[in-house]
Amino acid sequence: MRSFFEEFKKFIMRGNVVDLAVGLVIGAAFTAIVNSMVKDIFMPIIGLVTGGFDVSGQSVTLHGDAKLGWGNFVQAVISFVIVAFCLFLVVKGMNRLKESKSAEPAPPPEPSPTEKLLGEIRDILRAQGGNPPPALPPVAPPAVPT
C-alpha cells in the first residue's frame, strides 16, 4: 500500500502535472476576466451601437414559461472568440520564441575519441619531422549485378 502512495506522490510532483494545474487555475481566472470584459465593456458598447439593444437579456418564449435565452449564448460566443484570440496570440508568441532559439547556430560537435587519437598521432608524426602519409583515394562500393 505504501508503494501506491509513493507512486501517486511521484505522479503528482511531475513537472507536467504541476504545470497543468497552474495553467488550469490561471485559465479559470482569465476566463472570469474575459467574461467580465464582455459583459461589462463590450456588450454595453454593442448596446449603444444598436440603440440600447441589450443582447444578454434577449430570449424567445417557446411555450408558457419556457424561454430560449439566445442572448446569453451570443455573449458566451463573444467570450469564446476573445479567449481563443488571446490564446492564439500566446501560442504565436511562444512559436516565435522557439524559432529564434532554433535559429541560433548549433556549436560544432565534439570530436570523437577516435578522431582525437588520430589527431594526436598526426601531431606526433609532424613533430618528428616526418609528413603524414597521403590520404588514400576513396574506395568505390562494389558493383551490384542487375
- 17 in a structural domain: yes
CATH number of 40's domain: 1.10.1200.120
- 47 in a structural domain: yes
pTM comes to 0.48
Q: Do 65 and 73 form a contact (C-beta atoms < 8 A)?
A: no
- 130 in a structural domain: no
Q: What is the pLDDT of residues 77-114, one digit of tens each?
A: 887 888 788 778 888 988 888 877 766 677 788 888 89
Phi, psi of 68 (to 5 degrees): -105, 105
Distance CA 131, CA 87 (A): 64
Grid look-up 619531422 returns 129
The low-confidence residues of the chain, meaning pLDDT below 70, are 1, 15, 102-104, 130-140, 146
